[in-house]
């Protein structure tokens, strides 16, 4: 039994050297010395009996058991107390874990000695050495018992740490944010570093807190971006990247400095890539969210746009951009609450800013497709475009028109030839809304804003027509002969739309200039006598002007006499030609002297005629005046209302009006005030009236067709009309308009509709 005794003795020795073997409850006291002789004896025995591998195995088993059953649960128990937020729980957990780890380390050191002495070849867990093996066990135990919400604790720890690191926040008060101690007494930074060192030494920086750190950094970056970019459209991306390196990465370096598993450079390089990518991504996203505002603020927001342009190739957010911008447009722009002018302004801004983002214009086309659709549905679009084109004052479109070089189809080709090396193909992206239109594709890169606006309608005619009406309105309402500006605009428009389309407008402007000359000539005429009324006339070539609104009006005799004289003078000046007066059009500058006041007014001929009649006879009945002026009483009453509101006439009884020579006390008497009547009625017939008239003209064609061919379908009628009838400058009638017109005729029993065919009633 000596052998047994020997074994027992050796076992005691083993237990003495590796107390963990005995009872894992006893703390393995690394201070406890062991005798060199004991150790040597044990080694000798082990080697003799070949038990060294077994011993190493036993010790590791014990370490593992102890870690699993005792140390790690204790560690995680710190995490369960979720009420403790902030710094301490994690710090304490790491502290106790580390203390235990140190103890295991001493065991490992002794095992190392054993290995050297007994020449153990086997490495536990196939690790490089025992320390690695210990770490492996620790990691597996830790992660094996991972708490579901461990991240809240780590997050709050690192959040606190970041707060301390963040210079901005600590600068404000001299007290540490975490422990509320005076800065000088605060040990938080020290604790923090100590904890990191310990985690790093145990080698689970990345597995345990890597994700937390990443998340935290992400949040931190995102917050910073949002804070920086809020309502500010400067360029930030380079600044942000610098900030990322100086603040976030430096801070992370401090933590990863202790990482024992990877070299600092290696781990940081990985992290940096991740963070920079995230920075770009989230910056672009933030900007995309703001894009609508950025677009509206153009050109102040140009730096932000440049940023997006830089970021887009590095991220994959183009589809998101398209989608978000389109949605923003739809919710913020394309609804009835926004005026057409505003939509147009926004549209112009969109065109300009998206050209910055994507010179190929494909993005623009995709994004603006809904705007096109919407603008097409608005009636006043063309009018708005035209009026803002020619408006005075700061205006995008007017600037664009002035700036513009004529669009020449040859230029783009030259351009591309020169830069063939830097040519890039159009970006490839699914574009379901795009119509297959070849000619648009070719010129997309060079399309300018005005052509884009005109292209909304796809027809120059409509646009030019609207311009003609507006021009006529302006010429007739201003009654000034300052046509220089208009001529300039016309020249600019001619560059775009070609001479032939604007020929009518040219004649109109020439009419104005000619009128000026003719007026002067007639006034110099010795036979022409101008003692009654200073008369000047706009002599228009009716064929070239849009149709005037017809209104019947008999002017006052003195005016008529003057006009007769003027006509005579004109007839002598221009042989075989005469004048047809548009009595209701024009403007009259008059002075009205009453007993207690004098007024200077610019009024329309109707108003002037009324007041002139009242000069002859101070009391008029409505009916009577209506007969004299050949103006319907209802309209006349409205016109008299103008004088009532000026306090010059009063209604003494129903439908009887009289001059009010003296103002009653409540009206403020002003010696001489100048009132301009501002009735924004167009002198031109409204578009609807015009259309109606055109359709009436068409009716005779249709009648003729049906007489010869008996019955025809809608398509056929439309086709034939297109061939024969639609040739004037304004005539253009869609099939649906025609259908509406025809069904009205059917209702009026002038047509019969059956089996999809129209027929004349027998």
Partner 1 sequence: MKVTIKQWTGVASWKWVANDDNCGICRMPFDGCCPDCKLPGDDCPLVWGQCSHCFHMHCIVKWLQSQPVNQQCPMCRQEWKFNNK
Output the CA torsion sign for 695, 701, 707, 712: negative
Pairing mode, strands 757-759 and 752-754: antiparallel
Sheet containing 656-659: give its strands across.
619-621, 656-659, 649-653
Judged by beta carbon, residue 70 or residue 571, the one nearer partner 1 is: 571
Judged by beta carbon, residue 24 or residue 581, the one nearer partner 1 is: 581
Listed ranges 290-298, 431-439, 569-577, 723-731: which one lies at the site for partner 1 (CB under 8 A): 569-577
Tokens representing residue 116 in the block: 């050297």
Among 357, 538, 631, 712, interactor with partner 1 by CB under 8 A: 538
Task: Give which of 304, 374, 368, 292 is closest to 340, Cα–Cα.
Answer: 374
Tokens representing residue 60 in the block: 């590791």
> CA torsion, points 14, 18, 23, 27, in degrees to nearest 10?
150
Residue 553 DSSP SS3: coil
Tokens representing residue 175 in the block: 């007290």
Q: Is 605 in the site for partner 1 (CB under 8 A)?
A: yes
Backbone φ and ψ for 334, nearest 5 degrees, come out as -90, 60
Q: Is 731 in the site for partner 1 (CB under 8 A)?
A: no
Alpha-carbon span 206 to 261, nearest angstrom = 9
Q: Classify 361 in phi/psi space as left (phi over 0), alpha (psi -120 to 50) or beta.
A: left
Q: How many residues bind partner 1 (CB under 8 A)?
A: 56
- In a 13 Å sphere around the CA of 403, the CA atoms on its Cβ side amount to 9
Contact 519, 537 (CB under 8 A): yes
Alpha-carbon span 214 to 252, nearest angstrom = 10
Alpha-carbon span 12 to 7, nearest angstrom = 9
Q: Is 130 in the site for partner 1 (CB under 8 A)?
A: no
Judged by beta carbon, residue 238 or residue 645, the one nearer partner 1 is: 645
Q: Is 570 in the site for partner 1 (CB under 8 A)?
A: yes
Residues 90-129, mask of contacts with partner 1 (x by CB under 8 A): ----------------------------------------
Instruction: Name the one residue in this structure whose structure tokens are 């006893």.
Output: 26
Judged by beta carbon, residue 549 or residue 722, the one nearer partner 1 is: 549
Rg (the chain; Cα; Å) = 46
Minimum gap (Å) between residue 464 Cβ and partner 1: 16
Minimum gap (Å) between residue 558 Cβ and partner 1: 8
Listed ranges 46-54, 172-180, 581-589, 705-713: which one lies at the site for partner 1 (CB under 8 A): 581-589
Q: Is 593 in the site for partner 1 (CB under 8 A)?
A: yes
Listed ranges 80-88, 147-155, 335-343, 614-622: which one lies at the site for partner 1 (CB under 8 A): 614-622
Judged by beta carbon, residue 131 or residue 503, the one nearer partner 1 is: 503
Residues 426-465, mask of contacts with partner 1 (x by CB under 8 A): ----------------------------------------
Contact 509, 490 (CB under 8 A): yes
Listed ranges 52-60, 229-237, 576-584, 731-739: which one lies at the site for partner 1 (CB under 8 A): 576-584
Contact 275, 216 (CB under 8 A): no
User: Would you give the distance in Å from CA 280 to the centre of its chain?
Assistant: 20
* Residues in contact with 317: Cβ distance below 8 Å, sequence separation at least 6, in sequence order: 281, 284, 285, 288, 311
Among 76, 581, 726, 753, interactor with partner 1 by CB under 8 A: 581
Residues 488-527, mask of contacts with partner 1 (x by CB under 8 A): ---------------x--xx--x---x-------------
Backbone φ and ψ for 752, nearest 5 degrees, come out as -120, 135
Q: How many CB atoms lie under 10 A from the CB of residue 351?
A: 23
- Which 640-679 residues touch partner 1, going by CB under 8 A? 648, 659, 661
Among 544, 699, 726, 753, interactor with partner 1 by CB under 8 A: 544
Among 585, 606, 631, 721, interactor with partner 1 by CB under 8 A: 585
Among 470, 559, 606, 738, interactor with partner 1 by CB under 8 A: 559
Q: Classify 583 in phi/psi space as left (phi over 0), alpha (psi -120 to 50) or beta.
A: alpha
Q: Is 272 in the site for partner 1 (CB under 8 A)?
A: no
Listed ranges 136-144, 150-158, 454-462, 534-542: which one lies at the site for partner 1 (CB under 8 A): 534-542
Minimum gap (Å) between residue 454 Cβ and partner 1: 23
Among 589, 630, 650, 686, interactor with partner 1 by CB under 8 A: 589
Listed ranges 82-90, 160-168, 591-599, 733-741: which one lies at the site for partner 1 (CB under 8 A): 591-599
* Residue ranges binding partner 1 (CB under 8 A): 476, 479, 503, 506-507, 510, 514, 533-545, 548, 559, 562-563, 567, 570, 574, 576-583, 585-594, 605, 608, 611-612, 614-615, 618, 648, 659, 661, 683
């Amino acid at each position: 039994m000596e052998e047994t005794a020997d074994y027992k003795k050796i076992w005691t020795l083993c237990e003495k050297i590796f107390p963990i073997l005995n009872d894992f409850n006893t703390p393995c006291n690394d201070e406890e010395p062991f005798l060199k002789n004991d150790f040597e004896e044990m080694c000798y025995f082990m080697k003799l009996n070949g038990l060294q591998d077994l011993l190493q195995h036993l010790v590791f088993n014990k370490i593992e058991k102890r870690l699993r059953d005792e140390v790690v649960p204790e560690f995680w128990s710190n995490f369960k107390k979720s009420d403790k937020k902030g710094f301490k729980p994690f710090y304490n957990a790491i502290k106790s874990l580390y203390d235990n780890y140190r103890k295991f380390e001493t065991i490992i050191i002794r095992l190392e000695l054993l290995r050297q002495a007994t020449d153990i070849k086997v490495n536990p867990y196939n690790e490089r050495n025992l320390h690695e093996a210990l770490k492996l066990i620790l990691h597996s135990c830790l992660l094996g018992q991972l708490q579901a919400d461990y991240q809240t604790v780590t997050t709050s720890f690192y959040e606190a740490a970041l707060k301390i690191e963040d210079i901005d926040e600590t600068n404000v008060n001299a007290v540490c944010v975490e422990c509320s101690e005076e800065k000088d007494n605060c040990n938080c930074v020290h604790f923090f570093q100590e904890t990191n060192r310990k985690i790093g030494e145990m080698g689970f920086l990345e597995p345990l807190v890597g994700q937390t750190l990443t998340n935290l950094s992400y949040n931190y970056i995102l917050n910073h971006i949002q804070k920086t970019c809020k309502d500010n459209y400067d360029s930030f991306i380079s600044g942000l990247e610098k900030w990322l390196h100086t603040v976030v990465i430096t801070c992370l370096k401090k933590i990863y400095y202790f990482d024992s598993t990877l070299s600092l450079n290696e781990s940081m390089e990985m992290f940096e890539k991740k963070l920079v990518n995230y920075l770009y991504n989230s910056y672009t996203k933030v900007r995309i969210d703001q894009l609508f505002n950025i677009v509206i603020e153009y050109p102040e927001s140009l730096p932000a746009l440049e940023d997006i342009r830089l970021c887009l190739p590095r991220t994959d957010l183009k589809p998101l951009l398209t989608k978000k911008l389109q949605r923003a447009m739809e919710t913020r722009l394309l609804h009835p609450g926004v005026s057409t002018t505003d939509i147009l302004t926004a549209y112009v801004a969109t065109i300009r800013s998206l050209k910055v983002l994507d010179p190929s214009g494909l993005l623009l086309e995709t994004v603006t497709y809904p705007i096109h659709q919407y603008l097409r549905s608005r009636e006043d679009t063309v009018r708005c475009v035209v009026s803002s084109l020619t408006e005075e004052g700061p205006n995008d479109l007017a600037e664009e028109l002035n700036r513009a070089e004529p669009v020449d189809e040859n230029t783009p080709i030259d351009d591309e030839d020169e830069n063939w090396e830097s040519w890039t193909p159009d970006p490839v992206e699914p574009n379901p809304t795009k119509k297959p239109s070849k000619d648009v594709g070719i010129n997309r890169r060079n399309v300018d804003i005005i052509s884009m606006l005109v292209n909304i309608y796809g027809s120059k005619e409509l646009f030019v027509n609207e311009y003609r009406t507006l021009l006529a309105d302006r010429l007739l309402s201003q009654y000034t002969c300052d046509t220089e500006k208009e001529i300039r605009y016309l020249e600019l428009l001619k560059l775009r739309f070609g001479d032939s389309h604007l020929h009518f407008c040219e004649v109109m402007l020439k009419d104005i200039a000619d009128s000026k000359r003719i007026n002067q000539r007639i006034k110099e005429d010795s036979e022409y006598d101008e003692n009654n009324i200073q008369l000047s006339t706009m002599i228009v070539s009716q064929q070239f002007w849009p149709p005037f609104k017809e209104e019947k009006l008999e002017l006052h005799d003195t005016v008529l006499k003057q006009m007769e004289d003027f006509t005579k003078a004109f007839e002598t000046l221009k042989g075989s030609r005469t004048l047809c007066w548009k009595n209701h059009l024009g403007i009259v500058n008059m002075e009205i002297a009453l007993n207690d006041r004098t007024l200077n007014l610019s009024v329309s001929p109707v108003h002037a005629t009324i007041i002139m009649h009242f000069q002859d006879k101070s009391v008029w009945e409505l009916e009577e005046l209506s007969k004299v002026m050949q103006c319907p009483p209802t309209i006349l009453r409205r016109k008299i209302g103008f004088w009532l509101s000026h306090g010059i006439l009063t209604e003494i009884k129903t439908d009887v009006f009289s001059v009010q020579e003296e103002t009653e006390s409540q009206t403020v008497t002003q010696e001489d005030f100048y009132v301009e009547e501002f009735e924004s009625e167009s002198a031109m017939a409204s578009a609807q009236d015009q259309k109606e008239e055109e359709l009436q003209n068409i009716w005779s064609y249709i009648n003729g067709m049906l007489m010869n061919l008996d019955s025809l379908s809608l398509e056929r009628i439309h086709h034939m009309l297109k061939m024969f009838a639609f040739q004037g400058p304004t005539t253009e009638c869609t099939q649906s308009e025609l259908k509406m017109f025809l069904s009205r005729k059917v209702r009026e029993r002038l047509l019969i509709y059956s089996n999809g065919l129209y027929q004349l009633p027998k």
